[in-house]
Amino acid sequence: MLNKFFNLIVKKQFSVMDNFMKHPLRTQETFFKYLINMGKNTVFGKYFGFSSVRNFYDFRKNVPLFTYENIYPYIESMLKGHQNILWPNNISWFSKSSGTTNSKSKFLPVSLESFNDSHYKSGRYILSIYINNFPDSNLFFGKNISLSGFINSNTFNYNSRINFGDISALISKNLPFWWVDINIPEYFHQKS
C-alpha cells in the first residue's frame, strides 16, 4: 500500500517533468525571468542593470561573459560572509570544485533554492522516470546506501560560518529531516 502511495506521488512529478519537455522554451523563459527577478536587487544585479532586463538579448547586452577569475571578487566577498552579492538569500554553503582548470579548486556558492530547485528536484525527476518505466518496482522497500564526499565546516580562513565541500556531501548534509543520513566518510575519519 505504501509503495503504491509513493508511486502515485512520483508519477505526478513525472507529469510536471513531461510538461517541461513538451514546452522547453516556455520553461526556460519562466526560469530566466525568475532568476533575473531574484537577482535584480543584489550587488551584481544592480551593477549590471537586471531591473531593465526583459529578455535574453537585454541580458547579453548588460552582462559580459565572465571567467571564474573575473567573478571571484564577488565570491570572495560572499566567503567573507557578506550577503546579497550574487543571490538575495543567505549563502553559507560553497561547493568546492576538483580544480579542473588552473589546478586550483574553485568555490561555488550554493543556495537553499539551488538545493531544492535543482539538486533535490532532479533526484525526484530521475525517480519519477524510473517509476514511470517500472511501475511494479518495490523501490521504497529495503535499504539504500549513498556515499558522499567531505564537508569542511568552520575551517575557512575568512569566516567560521562558511561551510564548503564536495557537492555530494553538501546535498547529503542538507537533505530533509525524514531522510536518514549517516556521514560514513566523517565516521571513518574520526576512527582513524
Q: How confident is the model at residue 46 (pLDDT cuts 50, 70, 90)?
A: very high
Helix (H, G, I), strand (E, B) or coil at 52: helix
Q: How many Cβ atoms are within 10 Å of 94's Cβ, its own excluded?
A: 22
Mean pLDDT throughout 63-83?
93
Question: How high is the pLDDT of residue 189?
Answer: 41
Asked whether the beta carbons of 58 and 52 are under 8 A apart, the reply is yes
- pLDDT higher at 127 or 72: 72
Domain that holds residue 62: 2-191
Q: Give the least confident one: 13-17, 39-43, 72-76, 100-104.
A: 100-104
Q: Are 144 and 130 in contact (CB under 8 A)?
A: no
Cell numbers 575519519 label which residue?
Answer: 189
What's the rounded Cα separation, in Å, for the pair 40 and 84? 10
Distance of alpha carbon 16 from the chain centroid: 19
Number of structural domains found in the chain: 1
Exposure of 99 by Cβ count < 10 A (0-12 exposed, 13-18 middle, 19+ buried)?
A: exposed
**What pLDDT does residue 99 have?**
64
> Are 140 and 63 in contact, with CB atoms under 8 Å apart?
no
